[in-house]
């Protein structure tokens, strides 16, 4: 039984290590099945009007009959203007080419922690065509994305500081068909209204659906412990597709509320005012990922038009901010199976920050309060461990007396436990109950945009990055750049070593060596973790050491 207890302790220690890669990795893709009714509806929609009833009636096999033969915009040679929209929160650039967003600079966030760093740009240079591209399913999407959407304003710069303003773009496809694309801006808000209107003055009905596409670069390095990639709220269920799974999960149909491209700390999203029946189409090419919302095909009668109303959000993944946006966009922040614990912890950390504007101190207070809530459970654990420590000499005598009879050793050990009323797993179970809280705090601290570039003190100027004292030009084994002395991590490892020495020593020398190896293993694991996480673990260890010392003195 003693051996089983020790193996259980080792297993629980390694559980934290192994579950990191499983629990804290990107959430598995949630597939929303395409219903047979939706498939039939999609396949039947283009043919309902009949092959001779209007433009786009048989878009799968023939070109729209009313399009010019070249199917190219007449103003292709016209230079595209760029309209700069300046608000208190961001500076956006809109290009007449495609009516696209070609730049989105956030004024309250920086690219790096350096004092002279440029503001955060959400539209990477690699995205030549920009993002928030619109097209119609009855036409070649490249045609509409290359076309010139003429800005209906004479000046190239718009300042949004006092009252809402709109910037309207219009694209004439010929034959009386045109598209209006209107961006509506409000001061002090990341939410941008986006209205797309198709006018049908062709004299024939038009069968088409709208397509809105978001583009982003493939960020392969930042999704190890938080989701990065395309997502959407479909059928009231969060769908997140990892980059590597896009080829197999390129289309999801259902009732769409919003689609998005997510990074670890930022998100770009197109939200529908009302849930719409349609599809989320995904693609990745040349290191660019595309997430496209496609509405259901419908008939636009001659002489009429149709307006689609959306909202655009491009900004930080702040839970409170996304909740204020509405449309359930806050559901994009998902902490997995510990979500119900992580989000209250995030709220409480931000609550502390309101009164003590230092996230490092907020983490310390949050950690201490969390450990105090589990004080009774931890007391039971430490009391059980102390009881086991007292039995160590008697157990050693049993092992020496019956060293050639393992069955007798187990029998006598169990009798010893019954005599002294000691539960051999009493030190493990209370710790096991606390694991969900640990996982919740871990995920919350890793994914919180609040910790991005948040200073603590001294050399720790970014709680979302590893702590490094000094900067070395040479590489250090097991360490990711930047290279320096991980002071906080080394102190954390020392507290783990002290805590291990305070615990009852295993009877088996080999098991004892394995247990003493754990602090070293954890130190190497944490060496590249954000300093906010290391700080949490360090404070947690210090509270545990204090409580264990107090309990041992009290029951001695």
Residue 281 sits in a domain of what CATH number?
2.70.98.90
Domain edge (last residue) among 303, 333, 363: 333
pLDDT digits (tens, 9 = 90+) for 7-38: 344 444 444 433 433 333 434 334 344 444 43
136 belongs to a structural domain: no
Claim to verify: residue 456 and residue 539 sit in the same structural domain:
yes
CA atoms within 13 A on the CB side of 394: 13
Claim to verify: residue 372 and residue 267 sit in the same structural domain:
no
Domain that holds residue 451: 2-22+343-555
271 belongs to a structural domain: yes
Claim to verify: residue 351 and residue 231 sit in the same structural domain:
no
Domain edge (last residue) among 283, 314, 333: 333
Claim to verify: residue 501 and residue 383 sit in the same structural domain:
yes
pLDDT at residue 315 above 90?
yes
- DSSP lists the bridge partners of residue 199 as 178, 305
What is the tally of structural domains in the chain?
2
Lowest mean pLDDT among 8-22, 385-399, 417-431: 8-22
205 belongs to a structural domain: yes
Claim to verify: residue 320 and residue 412 sit in the same structural domain:
no
159 belongs to a structural domain: no
Q: Whole-prediction pTM value?
A: 0.80
Claim to verify: residue 417 and residue 478 sit in the same structural domain:
yes
Task: Count Cβ atoms below 10 Å from residue 7 Cβ, excluding itself.
Answer: 14
Pick from 43, 80, 72: which is nearest to 59 by CA?
43
**pLDDT score at 380:** 74
83 belongs to a structural domain: no
Domain edge (last residue) among 333, 362, 392: 333
pLDDT at residue 485 above 50?
yes
Whole-angstrom distance, CA of residue 311 vs CA of residue 328: 13
Task: Band the pLDDT of 408: cuts 50, 70, 90.
Answer: confident
Q: Length of the chain, please? A: 556
Claim to verify: residue 355 and residue 392 sit in the same structural domain:
yes
Claim to verify: residue 387 and residue 402 sit in the same structural domain:
yes
Claim to verify: residue 295 and residue 352 sit in the same structural domain:
no
Contacts of 343 (CB under 8 A, 6+ apart): 319, 333, 335, 444
259 belongs to a structural domain: yes
pLDDT digits (tens, 9 = 90+) for 253-296: 999 999 999 999 999 999 998 899 999 999 998 889 999 999 99
Pick from 379, 376, 353: which is nearest to 366 by CA?
353
Whole-angstrom distance, CA of residue 526 vs CA of residue 488: 10
Q: Which of 329-333, 497-501, 504-508, 539-543 has the highest mean pLDDT?
A: 329-333
Contacts of 113 (CB under 8 A, 6+ apart): 453, 461, 462, 465
Claim to verify: residue 406 and residue 549 sit in the same structural domain:
yes
**pLDDT score at 22:** 38
- Pair 392, 505: CB distance under 8 Å: yes
Claim to verify: residue 40 and residue 184 sit in the same structural domain:
yes
Claim to verify: residue 415 and residue 291 sit in the same structural domain:
no
**In what helix (H) or strand (E) does residue 220 lie, and over which residues does it extend?**
none
372 belongs to a structural domain: yes
Angle between the N-to-C axes of helices 509-526 and 487-502, in degrees from 0 to 180, rounded to the nearest 10:
160
Whole-angstrom distance, CA of residue 225 vs CA of residue 246: 19
501 belongs to a structural domain: yes
Phi and psi dihedrals of 222, rounded to 5?
-105, 5
Whole-angstrom distance, CA of residue 540 vs CA of residue 547: 11
């Amino acid at each position: 039984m003693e051996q089983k207890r020790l193996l259980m302790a080792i297993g629980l220690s390694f559980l934290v290590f192994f579950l990191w890669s499983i629990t804290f990795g990107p959430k598995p893709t949630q597939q929303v099945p395409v219903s047979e009714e939706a498939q039939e509806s999609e396949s039947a929609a283009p043919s309902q009007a009949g092959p001779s009833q209007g433009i786009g009636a048989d878009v799968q096999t023939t070109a729209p009959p009313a399009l010019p033969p070249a199917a190219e915009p007449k103003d292709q040679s016209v230079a595209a203007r760029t309209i700069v929209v300046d608000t208190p929160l961001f500076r956006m650039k809109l290009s007449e080419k495609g009516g696209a967003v070609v730049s989105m600079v956030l004024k309250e966030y920086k690219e790096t922690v350096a004092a002279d760093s440029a503001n955060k740009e959400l539209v990477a240079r690699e995205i030549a065509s920009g993002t928030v591209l619109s097209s119609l399913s009855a036409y070649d999407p490249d045609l509409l994305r290359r076309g010139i959407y003429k800005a209906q304003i004479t000046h190239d710069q718009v300042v949004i500081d006092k009252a809402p303003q709109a910037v309207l773009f219009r694209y004439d496809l010929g034959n009386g068909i045109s598209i209006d694309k209107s961006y509506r801006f409000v001061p002090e808000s990341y939410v941008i209204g986006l209205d797309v209107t198709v006018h049908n003055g062709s004299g024939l009905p038009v069968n088409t659906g709208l397509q809105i596409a978001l583009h982003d670069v493939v960020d392969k390095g930042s999704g190890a412990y938080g989701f990065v990639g395309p997502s959407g709220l479909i059928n009231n269920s969060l769908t997140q597709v990892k980059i590597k799974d896009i080829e197999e999960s390129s289309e999801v149909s259902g009732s769409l509320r919003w689609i998005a491209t997510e990074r670890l700390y930022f998100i770009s999203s197109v939200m529908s005012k009302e849930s719409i029946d349609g599809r989320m189409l995904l693609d990745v090419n040349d290191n660019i990922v595309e997430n496209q919302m496609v509405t259901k095909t419908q008939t636009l009668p001659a002489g009429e038009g149709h307006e689609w109303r959306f909202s655009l959000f491009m900004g930080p993944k702040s839970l409170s901010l996304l909740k204020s946006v509405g449309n359930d966009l806050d559901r994009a922040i998902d902490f997995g199976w510990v979500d119900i614990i992580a989000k209250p912890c995030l709220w409480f950390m931000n609550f502390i920050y309101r009164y003590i504007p230092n996230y490092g101190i907020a983490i310390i207070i949050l950690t201490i309060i969390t450990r105090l809530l589990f004080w009774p459970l931890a007391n039971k654990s430490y009391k059980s461990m102390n009881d086991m420590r007292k039995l160590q000499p008697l157990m050693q005598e049993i092992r020496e007396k019956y060293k050639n009879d393992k069955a007798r050793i187990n029998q006598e050990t169990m009798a010893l436990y019954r005599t002294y009323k000691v539960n051999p797993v009493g030190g493990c179970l209370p710790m096991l109950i606390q694991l969900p809280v640990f996982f919740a705090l871990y995920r919350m601290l890793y994914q919180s945009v609040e910790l991005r570039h948040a200073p603590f003190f001294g050399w720790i100027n970014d709680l979302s990055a590893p702590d490094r004292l000094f900067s070395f030009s040479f590489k250090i084994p097991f360490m990711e750049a930047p290279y320096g002395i991980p002071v906080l991590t080394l102190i954390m490892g020392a507290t783990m070593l002290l805590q291990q020495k305070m615990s009852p020593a295993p009877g088996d020398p080999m098991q004892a060596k394995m247990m003493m190896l754990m602090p070293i293993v954890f130190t190497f694991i944490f060496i590249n973790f954000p300093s906010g996480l290391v700080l949490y673990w360090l404070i947690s260890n210090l509270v545990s050491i204090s409580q264990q010392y107090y309990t041992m003195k009290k029951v001695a």
